[in-house]
Amino acid sequence: MTGGPAIRELVLGCAQAVRAAVARHGRQGRQRRVHGDSPGGDAQFDVDEVAERAVWEHLTGHAREPLAVYTEHHGLRRTGPDPAILLVVDPVDGTRPTSAGLEMGTVSIAVAPLAAGAPTLGDVTAAHVLELRSGAWMYADDTLPEPLRHDGYDWPLPRLSSTRDLTRMFWSIEFNGHPMRLMTDAYEHLVDASANTGGVFVFNSASFSLTRIVTGQLDAYVDVGNRILRDHPGTEAEFRRVGRGGILHLFPYDIAASAYLAKRAGVVVTDAYGDSLDPMPLLTIDPASQRSCVAASTPELHRALLDTIRWDLPDPASTGGHR
């Protein structure tokens, strides 16, 4: 069973173990050293190493049956032979805000059956996101009658906004590994229209952004880099330049848990083409397996974003590459 009390106890306990380890590390004042790259190419800070170790120690010490565990830095490991359950874990989603002592870092854990085929985001049956700074959390699984369970918030969840107006939306966007020029070409007009009468934020955490729609603090979240690359292959050099050689779009561990929670809460969550994220592979991180995301609290706002973001961008060759 990939849902129910046993899984809930395990993943909530794992996230709390990570939070405790990160807090101890922060009190020591060592939070911003980069000690290498993840397999996907993202810089790994010392806090990532602390959190990865806490995940593995908790799961190997507390799991009642063998697990397959996929984490950002270590990839796929098994706690025992022939596991039937897969956990996809981002020990710290939002490394940079966590390293700065800000509140946008989370632990993200998605649970899926480890079937004979390749599991996808649509196979997720349980998910948990814990905020490292506040300790607030959300959890859901397929066995629950309610959309989700939560603790640490000042109001019942979900609390989706009714925003439909692009000029009034509070939304977050992504820049890590995304060339500023390309992002500006895609949605500078939306930033200009909403920055004063709404709000524009860069959190560098897909989990935090998506769960802020669930809490009603945000109306939308947009990460369009992967669609821009797919539509305009000539931009690959630009993406690799800012990714220090890698393509850094949405990986499965970034979004598997928060997308599950958001969808159960009623958020409209798709890729930047408006298609379901369910086919996204959970165990591969190559550029072809990465995705984009457009999420919104209302179908009308979601449609307006897809229709208004500028997808027909200038050819990099005609603008001399980056500028």
Q: Return the CATH number at 209.
A: 3.40.190.80
- Per the CB < 8 A criterion, the answer to whether 269 and 293 are in contact is yes
Residues 236 and 145 in one domain: no
Residues 141 and 176 in one domain: no
Kindly write down the DSSP assignment for every residue of 20-88, as one continuous string: HHHHHHHHTT----EEEE-TTS-EEEHHHHHHHHHHHHHHHHH-SS-EEEEETTTEEEESSSS--EEEE
Is cis: bond before 158, omega within 30 of 0? yes
Q: What pLDDT digit, counting tens, does each position of 176-217 carry?
A: 899 999 999 999 999 999 999 999 999 999 999 999 999 999
Give the residue-averaged pLDDT of 38-44.
Answer: 56
pLDDT the model gives residue 321 = 43
Residues 122 and 15 in one domain: yes
Number of structural domains (the chain) is 2
pLDDT the model gives residue 52 = 95
Q: Return the CATH number at 116.
A: 3.30.540.10
pLDDT the model gives residue 314 = 74
pLDDT the model gives residue 39 = 60
Give the residue-averaged pLDDT of 24-49.
Answer: 67
Banded pLDDT at 46 (limits 50, 70, 90): confident
Banded pLDDT at 156 (limits 50, 70, 90): very high
What's the CA gap between 139 and 147, in Å, rounded?
9
Q: Tell me whether residue 159 is in a domain.
A: no
Cα 284-286-287 angle, rounded to 5 deg = 135
Q: Tell me whether residue 157 is in a domain.
A: no
What's the CA gap between 157 and 171, in Å, rounded?
19
Q: Tell me whether residue 217 is in a domain.
A: yes
Q: Tell me whether residue 161 is in a domain.
A: no
Residues 258 and 307 in one domain: yes
Question: In this model, does residue 40 exceed pLDDT 70?
Answer: no
Output the CA–CA distances (angstroms, integers) from residue 38 to 71, 74, 319, in the order listed.
10, 8, 32
Q: Tell me whether residue 229 is in a domain.
A: yes
Q: Tell me whether residue 96 is in a domain.
A: yes
Burial of 310 (0-12, 13-18, 19+ CB in 10 A): middle
Residues 251 and 134 in one domain: no
Residues 103 and 142 in one domain: yes
CA trace torsion 61, 285, 204, 114 (10° rounding): -40
Q: What pLDDT digit, counting tens, does each position of 287-299 carry?
A: 999 999 999 999 9
Domain enclosing residue 189, as ranges: 170-319
> Could you tell me what percent of the chain has a pLDDT over 70?
91
Q: Tell me whether residue 158 is in a domain.
A: no
Residues 128 and 189 in one domain: no
Q: Tell me whether residue 281 is in a domain.
A: yes
Residues 196 and 315 in one domain: yes
Q: What pLDDT digit, counting tens, does each position of 52-106 carry?
A: 999 999 999 999 999 999 998 899 999 999 999 999 999 999 988 888 889 999 9
Question: In this model, does residue 319 exceed pLDDT 50?
Answer: no
Structure tokens at 42: 């993202």
> Could you tell me what percent of the chain has a pLDDT over 90?
82
Give the residue-averaged pLDDT of 128-135.
Answer: 97
Strands 170-173 and 220-223: parallel
Q: What pLDDT digit, counting tens, does each position of 253-289 carry?
A: 999 999 999 999 999 999 999 999 999 999 999 999 9
pLDDT the model gives residue 26 = 76
pLDDT the model gives residue 28 = 72
According to DSSP, the residues that pair with 45 across neighbouring strands are 34
Handedness of CA 259, 265, 267, 268 (dihedral sign): positive
